[in-house]
A and B are shown apart, each in its own frame.
Chain A
Amino acid sequence: MPAPRRTTAAAFLVLAVAGAALVGCSKKDDGKVSADSGGPVQVNATDSACELSRTSFPAGHVELAVANKGSKVTEVYVYAAGDKIVTERENIGPGTRATINAEIKAGTYEVACKPGMTGDGIRQKITVTAGSAAPVKADDRLTQAVSDYRKYAQEQADATIPVVEQFAAAVTAGDVEKAKSLFAASRVGWERTEPVAESFGDIDPKTDTREDALEDGQAWTGWHRIEKSLWVDGKIGDEEKTLATQLVADLKDWQKRVADAEITPTGMANGAKELLDEVSKNKITGEEDRYSHTDLSDFAANVEGARQAYELLKPVASENEPELSKTLDSEFEKITTLLGTYRNADGTYTSYDKVTEDQRKAFSDAVNSLGEPLSKLAAAVVVK
């Protein structure tokens, strides 16, 4: 059966409904509905009509006062494009009234009354205008969260530079063992705030590219190139020394540019999720630090950075989505505890080649258990 894709079908539907609105729901020939300019929007629902006192009103809080004057139980929906339900109220009995409250952003919507509570309903187009109402004020707590996160990202970059310099110095001095001991530590600040670094586009390919990610002809530079020399070749040549110096320069560039990074609350939330994506894609498999097996150090830093972003957004998120916030608290705690069991007294982590398949599976479960709810954080901090 040639089932049409939804987009096509939905586009047709809108046309059909527009027709319905024109023919079925004209309100100008009906004086029963008062057209006041403020207060609730009156909705007169009958068995064959769905009349609104206004079809255009400002964004923000909207109140629909529904009167069911028909003989059937009805329900009223507000749909955004594609029939996304903005708000709804069911079971409005004949002769009864109901009030529907919603926060509605600017745009075009449809109100549907469904006598008998079946079918697509009798539809009416409405326009919600921006600007005519007091603009939605940015939540001060979110502004604060963004500013605190930028500060955090800067601190991480500032703290990274001296460690990278020590790492580079060890490489330049040809001290393989010392360089190895500093490798994981030199990456922590970066791994905590990686989405910020990646937002610049040009820095990450120079500093954090793995061998298999190279394009034909692209020079391999950065941490992982040096990692391979240290662990696989066990020696340092002139090329590595140059690369170490270059790594410091590239990371100083990052340090300078953190202040200019574009950071938004939803960007922070999705950045936190991306950190978990990194873990689930490259670290669970041991691909990230395949020579040094220091994956758990990066893993922990990713989780710490994600948690930082979440904690800053939590005042708003926990208000909007208390359940989600509870889940995130508990999952962050679980994964942190799990990581803790692999942490040595000196702050280093168990080498990932010593982590068994079963243990990797437990990590994978923990990452999925956190990553999935974390993907819902952005929606919880959107200013509606």
Chain B
Amino acid sequence: MDAENEQQAAPAEHGGEAQRAGLSRRAVIGWAGAGVALGAAAVGTVAAATMSSDESGAAPQAPDVPFYGEHQAGISTPVQDRLHFAAFDVITTDRDALVKMLKEWTKAAAAMTGGREVGGGAVGAVPESPPDDTGEALGLPASRLTLTIGFGPTLFEKDGQDRFGLKAKRPEALVELPKFKGDRLEAGRSGGDLCIQACADDPQVAVHAIRNLARIGMGVVNVRWSQLGFGKTSSTTPDSQTPRNLMGFKDGTHNIAGTDADALAQHVWAAPGDGADWMTGGSYLVARRIRMTIETWDRTSLKEQEDVFGRTKIEGAPYGKQKERDTPDLSAMPADSHVRLAHPDSNSGLMILRRGYSFTDGSDGLGRLDAGLFFLAYQRDTRKAFVPLQTKLAANDKLNEYITHVGSAHFACPPGVRKPGEWWGQTLFG
């Protein structure tokens, strides 16, 4: 391990949780790094370092994203490479049990996003008992793991039932999404009372996080559906190149930057007076599983492919321009091209924050790739953002010839957990 790696692994604590957890997953790595670096040094040097791990020299370049804050991490924070998204059904009728689970989830989330083990760790105190942490993330760094929770419409009301006394708190913006033209939604890939979006640079870390939360939630929730994603398809960091989707195109170039506080305030974060006070600082998440008909796309002419998007394939430049980020001349694009229809200039400045991932779930039994885009978008009010935009796209977008929306869900993601002791959903249930 070299100095650079050591730096990446250097511990950086957030809140008091880290101190409670004893030796952290991350701290272990930090120590190994420090140990190798100091391998030839005298024992006394090692001892000194042992006593002050947090001041051990290396400039911290934390591999973790702070869990605590005004807004939940995983929305405007830089997009990681991998996704494990899970929607849950609440199977208990006991509100206290649900609240208890949310508190346990919060603790576990704070630990895992900090690169630490869940509860009593992966090697339980009692050999006869299964350990609290499932252990597959042992030795891995936090990998910028973020965990983001959302509450679905059915948590507030289902089949006319006010399930947990929350009906009056349901935000108006948390609508049942309308049926869009061409939707072929599958129940087993849609809806959910709760969701957790786990993003990390390492899929094992993201999978570990969902698995452990699902385990903690047993008896209270069960997994309704889940989705793995790879290859982020949009970026919240404006200086990086827009990643390509599985059609080989750059899409989502004009995304909201995570650093653009004004745009975030205007388009992403729910504000006081928006309708539900408990959502202030939160955001509304739309998740859509969009299947691509990969095989027909691949035998489509390059010209048709470029016409569908309104961009060049190789550079991603808007029609008539040279570079990806050149200001598009929408009139130069076909009227039914994806970029032209979706661009803010065609939609009175309307913007959503996209965070989608590509997915490939093997093949579908007919030899076709089961692949596409798992679209994730955050916005201040879905009624004013995703709904009008998708209504328009569903009716006109030339891309519809090659894609089908097969899964759909809508969640209200509450504001961030600001400090240890607070919990996910406190503003709603508390």
Contact = CB atoms under 8 A, between A and B. Distances in A.
Interface stretch (A161-169, A295-303, A373-381): A373-381
Interface string A349-384: 000000000000000110011111101101100100
A20 B50 contact: yes
B129 A16 contact: no
Nearest to B1: A2
B29 A9 contact: yes
A236 interface: no
A214 interface: no
A303 B69 CA distance: 45
Contact of A3 (B23, B124, B140): B140
Contacts of A77: 22
A365 B91 contact: yes
B47 interface: yes
A16 B51 contact: no
Dominant SS at the A interface?
Answer: helix
B11 to A, nearest CB: 8
Contact of B23 (A13, A88, A372): A13
A253 interface: no
A79 interface: yes
Nearest to B43: A19
B301 interface: no
Interface stretch (A53-61, A118-126, A140-148, A281-289): A118-126
Contacts of A23: 43-44, 47
B125 A369 contact: no
B368 to A, nearest CB: 25
Contacts of A327: 219
Contacts of A6: 25, 28, 122, 138-139
A12 B30 CA distance: 12
B19 A75 contact: yes
Contacts of B20: 88, 90
B5 A2 contact: yes
Interface string B32-56: 1001000000011011111111100
B29 A3 contact: yes
Contact of A114 (B9, B19, B46, B220): B19
A135 interface: no
B53 A119 contact: yes
Q: How large is the interface on B (under 10, 10 to 19, 20 to 34, 35 or more residues)?
A: 35 or more
B159 to A, nearest CB: 14
Interface in A61-106: 75, 77, 79-80, 82-86, 88, 90
Contact of B32 (A4, A79, A88, A368): A4
Nearest to A379: B129
Nearest to B4: A1
Contacts of B129: 375-376, 378-379, 382
Contacts of A22: 43, 47
A20 B19 contact: no
Contact of B126 (A88, A123, A378): A378
Contacts of B126: 378-379, 382
B219 A17 contact: no
B218 A85 contact: no
A84 B52 contact: no
A270 interface: yes
A12 B215 CA distance: 32
Interface string B263-287: 0000000000000000000000000
Given A120-B31, A369-B220, 19 more contacts: A1-B5, A5-B138, A9-B31, A9-B32, A12-B31, A13-B32, A16-B35, A19-B50, A20-B46, A20-B51, A24-B47, A24-B50, A85-B22, A118-B19, A118-B52, A119-B54, A123-B50, A375-B130, A379-B125
A269 B35 CA distance: 42
Contacts of A16: 31, 35, 46-47, 49-50
Interface in A172-221: none
A4 B6 CA distance: 12
A10 B27 CA distance: 10
B46 A80 contact: no
A8 B33 CA distance: 12
Interface in B126-142: 126, 128-130, 138-141
A363 to B, nearest CB: 12
Given A13-B28, A373-B219, A375-B130, A120 B23 contact: yes
B78 interface: no
A164 B158 CA distance: 49
A48 interface: yes
A6 B53 CA distance: 17
A369 B218 CA distance: 5
Contact of B28 (A9, A24, A379): A9
A16 B52 CA distance: 13
Contacts of A122: 50-51
